[in-house]
Amino acid sequence: MSAPEAEILFANEAYYTAFASGDVDAMDAIWAQSTPVTCIHPGGPVLEGRDTVLESWVEILISGQTEGFTCRDAKAHVVGDLAWVTCLEVLGDGALAATNIFVRENGAWKVTHHQACPTSALPQDIAGDDASTPPTRLH
């Protein structure tokens, strides 16, 4: 793994740590300040603009329903000052496929886009007895 890929995976982990712990300030810190940001929560509309995106995260984080949330199978891809991570977001027996896009701002990797959607490609250890069961909505 290259150093930039390790940096991206570290930034991605910080994002999911903020998510799982319900830490609004940490979530705010991981999102880009000067680059436009967008977010698509499962089944939701495209959210544009930092204020709108962060308002959506505040609602999710204060709900108290993110405890036990994990990121699995994260894979980093880096092209210059742009990077993205594909992964599975897991809570209980539900999972979503997610993409997080990062941009380098002032030497630090910041999220500029997040999108998550249901997936049928569940890892064996979370698929349960019936892998055809639709995933739980996580956010």
Domain membership flag for residue 128: no
Q: How many domains does the chain have?
A: 1
| Res 121: pLDDT | 64
- Name the β-bridge partners of 98: 87, 116
- 43 found inside a domain: yes
Q: What is the largest CA-CA distance in the chain?
A: 47
Does the structure show a pLDDT above 80 at 131? no
20: in domain: yes
Hey, which bits of 8-133 come out as E strands?
38-40, 46-48, 70-79, 82-91, 94-105, 108-118
Domain assignment of residue 137, yes or no: no
Q: Is residue 129 part of a domain?
A: no
Q: Is residue 107 part of a domain?
A: yes
Identify the domain containing residue 10 by its residue range: 3-119
Q: Residue 74 sits in a domain of what CATH number? A: 3.10.450.50
Residue 126 lies in a domain: no
Taking only the tens place, the pLDDT of each residue in 90-125 is: 877 788 999 999 999 999 999 999 999 988 766 555
124 within domain boundaries: no
Tell me: the pLDDT tens digits for 52-80?
999 999 998 888 777 777 899 999 999 99
